[in-house]
Amino acid sequence: MAMDERKALQDGGERVGLLLLILAAFGWRLAGLTRQSLWRDEVDVIWLALRPLAETASMFVAPAQNGPLYFLLMRPWFALAGTSEYALRYTSALISLLGIGLLWQVARRFLPGHGRMNLANTPLLAAFLLALHPYQLWYSQEGKMYALVVVLTLASTWAWLEAMRLGSPRRWWLYLIVTSICIYTHLLAALILPIHFVWFLLAAPLNRQRWRGYGLTLTGFVLPYLPLIWWQWHYLTTLDYQTGYAFTPFADVLRVLLLDHAGAALSQRSIYWIVPVVFLVLGGLLVGASEGGVDTESEFLSKRQFLAVPPALRMGMLAVWLVGPVLLLHGVSTIKPLFVDRYLIWIGPAFVLLLALGLRVVYHSGGRWARLVAGLLLLFVVGMWTVNGWEQTVTPNKTQLREAVTFVAEQRQPDQLLILQIPHTHYAYRYYTSDFGVDPFADSEMRLAPWAEGLWTQNGLPDSQARVEVDNAMQRATVGFAEVWVILVEAGSWDGRRLMDEWLDTHATLEEKQLFHGIEARRYRLCNASC
């Protein structure tokens, strides 16, 4: 058989393997998709997508808003599929599959091993690891934009690599368009731009041929986004604007991200379980340059697919992808706290690329014993990630709004007041008492009333003065009612001093209390005088 024919056959086999992997990943994502309740942010997606179109579109120019394009994209889907938990999360599960294929394409521009069906095939191995990754699995089963952000940052990266490889104006236009969509899907995905800029500096000697196209593309980014940059910078530096996040020390940032991307974020096991994963990633990072060249057997593919950059510089680019966004976000957070680990979910592909390369390093480090060790290490990672992925799916980790709202709604009488603490919970109550049709919030006030907002006591007032205000507010809210239901979700962020609880303990008798994960439901009987 001729070399080209054999390579074409190997390429076809690899694509079939990738397709089977994507199908298996789809099943893995659908398993337990609705086992857990939607949490507050997921309910918000439905509300933000379905409110009047002008209000959602105004998020493009409103300060401190994020993800407006995602909400607009979800609007026609809800009109078609309804607003059930399954309909919401199905989009994330489906979209996440594109990330597996895109990572395979990106890996073929960086790493060797194409065409083989063993641990030396780093592109296919990286795609397999991303499909199984517990942290990626979590957000592929959540009705938010983070699975889409991973796909879009991978698409942006692939478009950048293609534009650098081919130098085609059409590729630069593709890069500009895809990255713009990415930024309007999640604002902090804009950190991909400085990462690619550093890549350009590292991509010697290819960068000497591509500076004109890349420079014009960067101009295309700067001009439309000058107002956006000015607006965000204003809110970043304004002293009286608060993000709502506490500052996270850098050591804690690293610890959280390491657990996330090593696949143990929600595991209760010892941190030592991730040692083999860290070992492989470091091996890929530190020794991977020796494996980063083009295999002799794959040489015909290198001219078409490999980025013409020395292996050591390609490893540097992967390191920048993994570490650069962390440093940038932490730097911004020293001005205004912004760190949330899911905002950097798109560094996960770099992590699994280095992990796959680390397995290849072990695989090629010796003879049969080295291959056995590499196989055992892969088996360990697969086993740990499979168990952790299944446990995080079936173990209650999200606030059980569905269970709590159902419990209260089934027992609550029309003459019983409902107090929601925090008040934002009213969206979840409206949603979970609906028929999950095209607009679950229609006529929801009838299902919710009578109700009152829980009291905010984080106002800095002395306790004595705050108690007087709480007493006046609670007397007004409860007048005419004999019984009151209270649903407490994240109450400490709204009433950290528990002054509303204190008032209820004084002026009412607790008749019933039910605990759910992250939430409490209580029923009180009000007293005519102090109890």
113 and 174 together in one domain: yes
Flag whether 356 is in a domain. yes
Which of these, 44, 323, 50, lies nearest to 191 by C-alpha position?
323
CA-CA distance, 265 to 371, in Å (whole number)? 29
Flag whether 531 is in a domain. no
**Which CA distances in Å does 38 have to 43, 84, 143, 493?**
6, 10, 8, 20
pTM of the model: 0.92
| pLDDT at 527 (0 to 100) | 87
CA-CA distance, 260 to 279, in Å (whole number)? 16
Flag whether 510 is in a domain. yes
**Which CA distances in Å does 371 have to 103, 277, 378, 392, 415?**
24, 17, 11, 31, 71
312 and 418 together in one domain: no
Q: Indicate the number of domains in the chain.
A: 2
366 and 422 together in one domain: no
Q: Which of 354, 375, 394 is the last residue of a domain?
A: 394
pLDDT digits (tens, 9 = 90+) for 212-259: 999 999 888 776 565 556 555 555 555 555 556 778 899 999 999 999
Contact 225, 181 (CB under 8 A): no
Flag whether 508 is in a domain. yes
417 and 382 together in one domain: no
Please, which residues bridge with residue 508 across strands? 526
pLDDT digits (tens, 9 = 90+) for 246-295: 788 999 999 999 999 999 988 877 888 999 999 999 998 888 777 655 44
444 and 384 together in one domain: no
Q: Which of 362, 379, 394 is the last residue of a domain?
A: 394
Contact 384, 355 (CB under 8 A): no
Contact 470, 500 (CB under 8 A): yes
| pLDDT at 173 (0 to 100) | 95
**Which CA distances in Å does 252 have to 131, 249, 257, 341?**
27, 5, 8, 11
Q: Which of 373, 394, 415 is the last residue of a domain?
A: 394
422 and 440 together in one domain: yes
Collect the ranges in the chain with pLDDT lower than 50: 3, 294-303
419 and 370 together in one domain: no
Q: Which domain holds residue 416?
A: 401-526
CA-CA distance, 124 to 132, in Å (whole number)? 13
Structure tokens at 386: 């499979």
105 and 222 together in one domain: yes
| Distant-in-sequence contacts of 410-414, Cβ < 8 A, 24+ apart | 411/523, 412/485, 413/483
Flag whether 149 is in a domain. yes
